[in-house]
Amino acid sequence: MSISTRFVQVFAALLAGCLALAPQTRAADLLSKQWQEQREAMNALGDAACKGDQQAYQRLQSLQEHQDPVAITELSWLTWEADCKPHPFKVPNSRLFEYETLRDLAYRTTYYGYMTAAYLGYPVAQAILAETNMNHISEAPDFRKETLCLFHLAMTGGFETAGATLGERYLTGRGLFRSRARAKALYNVALGDAVQDSAMDTLKAAFPDVRHNRALAKAYLDKELAKCPERLKVKEGRITAFDPENTLQ
């Protein structure tokens, strides 16, 4: 996949958002049974690989080759996690752009890993990518629409915690226009997961009387998903127009 030199230069800033969110996504917030079981298995492999287990690392690589989005997410975390033991990160020099270092390539590889997993439908990766993209959401209208779409896809896929992250932004105006109505609707969505973090605390203080209403949450998400960019061709809460074969090239 081609990429401009300018876009390579912003990956350090983009990944700062990933680092802020990634530890939270490894906590006990629940997904659907399908995703949660895969997530727990990949987290176990990732933790082992982080400690230097090469068999675990190779198993994740094998699953990545078969386009397993949860394994791809775990490998992206490993690529960036500074506390992990050294693991093979060898690439041909042809993968480097002009003036790009191996660390720059790590930024790019991590970002594209999360992007691949997100577009393959993994809710946690969708939330990570969306929060990362928020650092540059004002650059283009289409980019803004796609980022917001990823947030709402993550919630629809069972990662309702993403609603708290986005809701806090609407409440405070951080990176988005202020909207108490949207913040309140997103808090209602996030209550479906009921994970407590700083964003949830902020929303709870603003809307102390809100109780989770599943029907309202679904109606809100359906309305927002209808605004997703045409190129993603979102149908029934899933992206249907993504070709993962070209993503990490």
Radius of gyration of the chain (CA): 18
- DSSP code, position 53: -
pLDDT value at 97 more than 90: no
Instruction: Among 30-34, 45-49, 70-74, 168-172, name the one with the lowest average pLDDT.
Output: 30-34
Dihedral over Cα of 144, 145, 148, 149: its sign:
negative
Q: What is the mean pLDDT of residues 119-144?
A: 83
Identify whether the C-beta of residue 196 lies closer than 8 Å to the C-beta of residue 223.
no
Query: What are the residues whose beta carbons fall under 8 Å from the beta carbon of 14, sequence distance 6 or more?
Result: 107, 111, 132, 133, 135, 136
Q: What is the mean pLDDT of residues 186-208?
A: 90
pLDDT confidence band for 9 (50 / 70 / 90): very low
Model confidence, pTM: 0.80
Q: Which of 109, 85, 122, 78 is nearest to 11 (CA)?
A: 109
